[in-house]
Structure 1
Amino acid sequence: MKTKTKGILLVVLAVLIIIPAVILGMKHFQPKENDFTGIKLPSSPAKTPVKNVNTDVLYDEKKWTTNFTHDGAIIKADGWYYVFSTDYMVGAPPTPGIQIRKSKDLIHWKFAGRVFDQVSQEAWDWTHGTTFWAPSVIRMNDQYYLYYSVSEVGKRNSYIGLATSHKIEGPWKDEGPVFKSKEGDGNTVNAIDPDITIDKNGQPWMVYGSYFGGIFITKIDKNTGKLVNPNDQGTLLAQRKDMSAGIEGPEIIYNKKTGYYYLTVSYDWLEDTYNVRVARSKNITGPFLDYNHKDMIDPSDDSFNTGNKIVAPYAFGKDPGWLGTGHNGLLQDGENYYLIHNARAGEDKYWSHLHVRKMVWTDDGWPVVSPERYAGEKEQKVIESNLIGNWQQIVLNRFEDSMQISTNLQLLPNGKIKDEKGKSRWKLSGQNTLELSIYDPGSAPKDYWKFTVKVLPGWDWENWKGTLVFTGMNQEGTVIWGKKIINK
């Protein structure tokens, strides 16, 4: 064989070897859209997808699980998590008595009975209410204090009562009224929706109120569990324009690391537009200011723009989604924080469920929550290849309280976000902190929305699989949620 021919054959052979090797190498090193390297995703919370509307459980309380939970208050006791909630069900009048549910893991819940059999004679005489609303429970003085509401619908004829027990599941002793309100009593507060919180000095307080005059806070006598000043409605913390602008369901929690008290309230109507807002203060009596330094006492026409909206009606993809996402409860469990709330199925807005969400904290000390219900996930370190791929995003617009539908977001391997102009960018700037720069000329400050979000594992309840989610805020305090879509 001639030397020239040998050379040609060697070149061809080299090409045949090198090109496939290069292709394979490129394929090997090319980022995968479904790359969860180093991430522990949560396990399935049930054997099969959970039905949002399930008429089979209507009259079988043992199967209620999260069904028919409304206005829940959460506490951890004796190794269990307990939620006490409003008397509520679908299809028939609810049995009065304050519903109790319990769970070992915040995921699997079972119905555990009721606190009472009926409303007390005193509460009935004051309000003519037949059911209990919006309880709150706390442990003080080596026993449990349960605060409850009874009210006449649409009026200030309302009653907050107290019950005590040495055991979390009872029996409970009714201790009578804590505070009552009535038309013409000289006050403006509506005596429902109590929440008891203990300040950093050990002093208990009751924050309460719904619609009408707004949200108030007053001192609790730590020995009796009742008000220090029985006839004083307390200090105003939050208020909206009038009865057309709903505000209720207050809770306060203290974060020792940030040094702030955080006030959460629910805005608007409980059947559909219900949404959770948050503000903070160095003092438990306020003033409570939101991200934009707006005071939660805002009786103006612009009160819809007050408070960081952290939970709101939403739908991912083609899922029917959730309405009435409000009246939250707050729990600190060691280093972990959780937010619970009721949510009404998009298929039937009267079908209410308990939602539990993991709460995380932004770098500047604001609480935000996971866009997906809790399934045991923990914050973890993520790498860039984990993030590349298709996401669904939901912006919780403070100006619009109807159900927000997700839109698509594609994170490309080169740090770009797919858009028409090619000017949007993303960057992993911390262990699980992601920065999104969304190009929106003419609308965004300096043409870019700057979102800083926390990435964490989550359970995709809509598609029934583990994935990654994110939650955070932009430079105006608007919250964004995101969920990574796994390609088949």
Structure 2
Amino acid sequence: MTTSTWGGRHVHDPTVVRDDDGTYWMFSTDARSDGPVRAGVQVRTSRDLVRWELHGWALDGVPGPAADWSGAEGLWAPEVVRAGEPGPAEWRMYYSASTFGSRRSAIGLATAPHPSGPWTDRGVVVASDHAAARAGFRHPNAIDANLVSERPGGRQWLVYGSFFGGIYALPVDPATGFVVDAPEPGALRSAPGTLLARRPRLADGAVEGAFVLPRPDGGWALLVSYDSLAGTYHLRAAVGDEVTGPFRDRGGRAMTDGAAGTEGAGATEQAAEAAGEGAASGVDPWQVGMPVLASHRLAGGPGLLAPGHASVLTEPGRQLLVHHVRDADAPTEHRVQVRRLVWTHDGWPLVSPQPWAGPDRENDDTATWPSSPAVLGGTWEVLDVGAATAKVVDGRTGALEEVLDGALTGVGRARPLGAGRFTFAGAAGSAAPTRRWTAVVFPAWDAVRDRATLCLTATDDAGRVVTGTRVDDR
């Protein structure tokens, strides 16, 4: 098997960490688009988050306990975090073992003294089972782990789950990395945890790949992937005061809408499924969650299909969204992309329309980011994020006040809020009331035109999101 030319290809469900010497380490699902899977979690390295080299695999196949329970032939969606500070570092990797369409799954834990390894399996952290669900016990699918620390040395949570049952949070013992009071695999009792997000059967229960991160001024943001993995997959966001929620989108809709009544410890799986029909809340399941990244094509660039299953790398002065994406013209081909994640003045996460170009081409000094509304003039290529997640949306070029059906009127009277932040009023449509927009404008690198430019990402108070790349000469 030739791997020397892989680079960032064959990456699915990625997470990235940085070691003490500045090397970035990426861990991803056992997936290839051109042949059989080699199991054990793919590991890559980079110095700039642009060029990647395959380092190898973290583990020699699927560890025995997880394999025995799940029957998995590969590992999915690794989450890698650093523990042991202060003191000797210990790196912890949470991996998922499952098979498509099954709830007989397990999240396991492996540890290492360094991201390069050697990795030692420590066993199963939490498991799920169809049999327990059929017996009336709440068993969300045990995949897609995300470890959340409230603060250094504070409480920790394992956020996990997918289509079967939704997204949940479980308390974790920081000393061991294991879930507190997790049932043994096969135990006929409900799995512990708090429901964070769920979609009804009307939407195929399609929510997975959760990542929870702190907001700049307090509270938490939840990122999740919606819909079909190889087609309509896309990323949405919501915010809440606690890691355990409740999380609501920009329009105030709860991420559990359509699943009312499933949070209680005594709720049965049958009751949860019944509530999941969507009729209980009357909320359209395709409207819940603020879309922040979806399939698109910028003029002259490749079509990018089904971006999602994101993690966030936080470093001094910047945060970067790490996700996979597929080739719109060859949907089996998947690879990694990295994008800047920014926050609006009122604490909502938004994503750059351009991929990260590396530290030599990007500007993290927010003191130099635009402060005058004049930067909103000129010609922009704008994407209406989430407008039609069932297709690759093309960018539209023109003045901001001319594109997107007049939604962005009022930019000429934008109010600056510092560090590239602006607010302005704009109509939601010809017959709709005026809405308030909040935007972030920042330096970026145009990957299509291969030059420095400005990017914009903005949301209105109902949760419509647009992104833009300035395409004229500044």
- Whether these two folds match at TM > 0.5 is yes
CA-to-aligned-CA distance 1:453-481 (integer Å, 9 cap, x gap)? 21112222223332221111112121110
TM-score by length of 2: 0.83
Q: What are the residue-to-residue correspondences of 1:367-382 with 2, within 5 Å?
A: 367-375=349-357, 376=359, 377-378=362-363, 379=366, 380-382=368-370
Whether 2:138 is the aligned partner of 1:179: answer no
Q: What are the residue-to-residue correspondences of 1:302-341 with 2, within 5 Å?
A: 302-341=284-323
Whether 2:443 is the aligned partner of 1:457: answer yes
Q: 2:461 maps to what in 1?
A: 475
Structure 1 position 251, deviation (Å):
0.9
Q: 2:245 maps to what in 1?
A: 286
State whether residues 189 and 215 of structure 1, in contact with CA within 8 Å, keep that contact through their aligned partners in structure 2: yes
Q: 1:68 maps to what in 2?
A: 10
Farther off after superposition, 129-138 or 103-112: 103-112
Q: 1:160 maps to what in 2?
A: 107
Aligned pair in 2 of structure 1 residues 75, 443: CA closer, same or farther (>3 Å)? farther
- What amino acid does structure 2 have at the position aligned with 1:288? F
More contact order relative to length (CA 8 Å, sep ≥ 6): 1
Partner of residue 411 from structure 2, selected from 421, 426, 429: 426
| Structure 1: runs of 5 or more not aligned | 1-58
- What amino acid does structure 2 have at the position aligned with 1:451? W
Partner of residue 208 from structure 2, selected from 248, 253, 257: 248
Q: What are the residue-to-residue correspondences of 1:23-102 with 2, within 5 Å?
A: 60-78=2-20, 79-102=22-45
Q: Percent identity?
A: 32
Structure 1 position 397, deviation (Å):
3.2
Structure 1 position 425, deviation (Å):
3.8
CA-to-aligned-CA distance 1:355-397 (integer Å, 9 cap, x gap)? 1111111011111111101123234333566554221111113
Aligned pair in 2 of structure 1 residues 463, 444: CA closer, same or farther (>3 Å)? farther
Q: 1:216 maps to what in 2?
A: 168
Farther off after superposition, 339-348 or 194-203: 194-203
Structure 1 position 81, deviation (Å):
2.1
Q: Name the CA distance, whole Å, in 2 between partners of 1:268 and 1:136.
A: 21
Q: Name the CA distance, whole Å, in 1 between partners of 2:29 and 2:449.
A: 31
| Structure 2: runs of 5 or more not aligned | 184-190, 259-277
Partner of residue 198 from structure 1, selected from 146, 149, 173: 149
Q: Name the CA distance, whole Å, in 1 between partners of 2:25 and 2:348.
A: 26
Q: 1:233 maps to what in 2?
A: 192
State whether residues 305 and 399 of structure 1, in contact with CA within 8 Å, keep that contact through their aligned partners in structure 2: no
State whether residues 129 and 139 of structure 2, in contact with CA within 8 Å, keep that contact through their aligned partners in structure 1: no
Aligned pair in 2 of structure 1 residues 440, 193: CA closer, same or farther (>3 Å)? closer
Q: 2:396 maps to what in 1?
A: 407
Q: For the aligned residues, what is the CA RMSD?
A: 2.4
Q: 2:186 maps to what in 1?
A: none
Aligned pair in 2 of structure 1 residues 187, 435: CA closer, same or farther (>3 Å)? closer
Structure 1 position 205, deviation (Å):
1.0
Aligned pair in 2 of structure 1 residues 487, 335: CA closer, same or farther (>3 Å)? closer
Q: Is the radius of gyration larger for structure 1 or structure 2?
A: 1
Q: Name the CA distance, whole Å, in 2 between partners of 1:368 and 1:77.
A: 27
SS class of match (1:262): strand
Q: Name the CA distance, whole Å, in 1 between partners of 2:179 and 2:406.
A: 60
Whether 2:72 is the aligned partner of 1:129: answer yes
Structure 1 position 259, deviation (Å):
0.6
TM-score by length of 1: 0.81
State whether residues 64 and 110 of structure 1, in contact with CA within 8 Å, keep that contact through their aligned partners in structure 2: yes
Whether 2:336 is the aligned partner of 1:389: answer no
Structure 1 position 441, deviation (Å):
4.8
